[in-house]
A and B are shown apart, each in its own frame.
Chain A
Amino acid sequence: MRRAFRRRPGKFTYLVLTAIAFFSFFPLYWSVVVASQDNSALGKMPPPVLLGGNLWFNLKRAFTMVPFEKALINSFLVAGSITLSVVLFSTLAGFAFAKLRFRGRNILLLSIIATMMVPTTLGIIPLYMLMAKIQWTGTIYAVIVPAMVNGFGVFFMTQYLSEAVPTELLEAGRVDGCSTIRLFWHVVLPAARPAAAVLGMLTFLTAWNDFFWPLVVLTPEDPTVQVVLSTLSAGRITDYSLALTGALIAILPLLVVFVVLGKQIIGGIMQGAVKG
């Protein structure tokens, strides 16, 4: 038993970990603190470090001063439809690349992987002009449609499906006269479920948190949550209790998702997820 020689981590390790966890959580805690104070309390030294009683008031303020309800609905619509679409199209393409033979397969897969290297910032200007041309600026279609597929999703699904779906099963299906689409529906889709869940969560996180493109293409009257945040922090003097209330509202849905499904998300990232 060589394993026995490995030392179990001592108290010091847990101390360090606790400090790291403290730094991870602190800014979130802090935004709750600030969101629960009024601005006069924030103008004092030392700053308040405990919760005040103004959270409800600030929440109401946030919802009346900017179209937060609309923004939340938009964000859910955007992130939800992007997630569904990315998962569906990635699984379809992943199935083709992992299990089917066709001319040009390798070069096409390679070109998809290459798309992952192109910085999104580069496409912002022409994409904006395109959206203006087809009169989608100011609508959430402009945010949804370009994000409906991405190279990472296809790559991720190809990797997963080439191992998760036994080729023998597909062959057997073929012998029984199954069409490819039925094979996809009855064999591939059930096998893809774990990876689809992970890809879906990662996509939802990315879509919900996306900032630059929605900021460019949407209006402050019909925004996503992230765009609302930029409105709240604008101006020479920022109303911080309001701005951090907004930040809190923006984080909260993801926090809930993360607490419930964090283990799977971590698993997905450790499988080699790439920054979105």
Chain B
Amino acid sequence: MTQLATEERVVPRRGLLHRLDVKGSPYLYIAPFFLLFLGFGVFPLIFTAWVSLHDWSLLSEEHTWIGFGNYTKLFDDPAFWNALWNTVSIWVLSTVPQLLLALVLAHILNQRLRGQTFWRMSALIPNITSVAAVAIIFSQLFGRDYGLINWVIGLFGVDKVDWTANTWSSHVAVSTMIIWRWTGYNALIYLAAMQAVPKELYDSASLDGATSFQQLRKITVPAIRPTIIFTVIISTIGGMQVLAEPLLFGGNGLTGGSDRQFQTLALYLYEVAFGRFDFGYASASSWVMFLIIVIVAAINFGITSRLRRS
């Protein structure tokens, strides 16, 4: 790039048009991004903040200014705290096993395998399946009376579980959908990072008699730590926004079960906005949701950077 600049000095005064082209055209090329993003990204974001300070129903023309009224209401709202708790619970239940499984899977895939492409493709198949389709398929599998999963655990003498009825069982079911869809994706991200680890490390470790699992723990995990941090943060942002799984698992019910036992934050937001048309309150919850994401990401970052130093 510095060379481009010197070239301009070597060939000066090519005329106004040329200089305009060199100086101005870059802005033209990035303009579509910024115009569309300002219109449909930034403006709505700021507008939500404005709406959240009003009593703003879609059904009425009047929008009364109520300051932080929506926010204080939110903190006294048991349904909001319930949704927050469910979101965190589902996030932990899905992220921890998902990333551990992904690590192991990536470690297995990082060998000189026959049919490498086939194994990688089968790991990624779940991820290309749409979230709506996954939610519907798993809802059927988790059916109480005729679901395959209850039949299989029945073979081991376990009683039927009414998966949608209880908090823990519905969280497990929703987490299963997330784990199934994202494990292979994360495994491929890890695999990419693992391929940068010098092979000699593994060779000498095997010579010293280290088992495959020891190699994973002692060599691979420390080496790809930045990638692990990255996936934790990405999974957090995704986990805070889970919507389709609980929505479709409950047969399209906005409350996430009769007692809101698996209503997530995003689903609660959807219920407030498009079930009750209370846009002011919904905007306030979406800003709080954003703050929660930022806080959780910051905590993640703090913990992981401390880990890195130790």
Interfacial residues, chain A to chain B (CB-CB below 8 A): 2-3, 5-9, 13-14, 16-17, 20-21, 23-25, 27-28, 30-31, 34, 42-47, 89-90, 92-93, 95-97, 99-102, 105, 108, 112, 115, 117-130, 145-146, 148-149, 151, 154, 167-168, 170-171, 174-175, 177, 179-181, 184, 205, 208-209, 211-212, 216, 225-226, 229-230, 232-238, 240, 243-244, 246-248, 250-251, 254-255, 258, 262-263, 265-266, 269-272, 274-275
**Interchain CB contact under 8 A, B130 and A31:** no
Contact of A216 among B37, B40, B274 (CB under 8 A): B274
Q: How far is the CB of B41 from chain A (nearest CB, A)?
A: 7
What CA separation (Å) do A3 and B212 show in the bound complex? 16
A8 contact set on B, CB distance < 8 A: 111-112
Assuming the contacts A25-B122, A96-B30, A275-B238, asked whether A123 and B41 have C-beta atoms less than 8 A apart, the reply is yes
**Interchain CB contact under 8 A, B234 and A274:** yes
B108 contacts chain A at the CB level, 8 A cutoff: yes
Instruction: Kindly report which residue of chain A lies nearest to residue B10, judged by CB atoms.
Output: A175
**Interchain CB contact under 8 A, B286 and A121:** yes
B274 contact set on A, CB distance < 8 A: 216
Tally of B interface residues using CB under 8 Å: 104
B84 contacts chain A at the CB level, 8 A cutoff: no
What CA separation (Å) do A121 and B269 show in the bound complex? 9
What CA separation (Å) do A181 and B185 show in the bound complex? 37
**Interchain CB contact under 8 A, A30 and B289:** no
A-B contact pairs, 25 of them (CB 8 A): A6-B199, A9-B108, A16-B108, A25-B125, A27-B134, A31-B137, A93-B29, A96-B26, A100-B22, A100-B25, A100-B29, A119-B237, A119-B241, A119-B289, A121-B269, A124-B269, A125-B44, A126-B48, A129-B58, A149-B33, A167-B4, A179-B21, A209-B132, A229-B132, A258-B121
Q: How far is the CB of B305 from chain A (nearest CB, A)?
A: 17
Instruction: Kindly report which residue of chain A lies nearest to residue B185, judged by CB atoms.
Output: A269
**Interchain CB contact under 8 A, B121 and A123:** no
- Chain A binder among B75-83, B92-100, B139-147, B167-175: B139-147
Contact of B180 among A23, A181, A225, A251 (CB under 8 A): A23
**Interchain CB contact under 8 A, A121 and B29:** no
B33 contact set on A, CB distance < 8 A: 89-90, 93, 112, 149, 154
**Interchain CB contact under 8 A, A266 and B44:** no
Interfacial residues, chain B to chain A (CB-CB below 8 A): 1, 3-5, 7, 11, 14, 18, 21-23, 25-27, 29-30, 32-34, 36-37, 40-41, 43-45, 47-48, 51, 58, 105, 108, 111-114, 117-126, 128-141, 143, 145-148, 151, 180, 184-185, 188-189, 191-192, 199-200, 202-204, 206-207, 234, 237-238, 240-241, 243-244, 247-248, 251-252, 266, 269-270, 273-274, 279, 282-283, 286-287, 289-290, 293
Q: How far is the CB of A74 from chain B (nearest CB, A)?
A: 14
**Interchain CB contact under 8 A, B112 and A9:** yes
Contact of B29 among A27, A96, A265 (CB under 8 A): A96
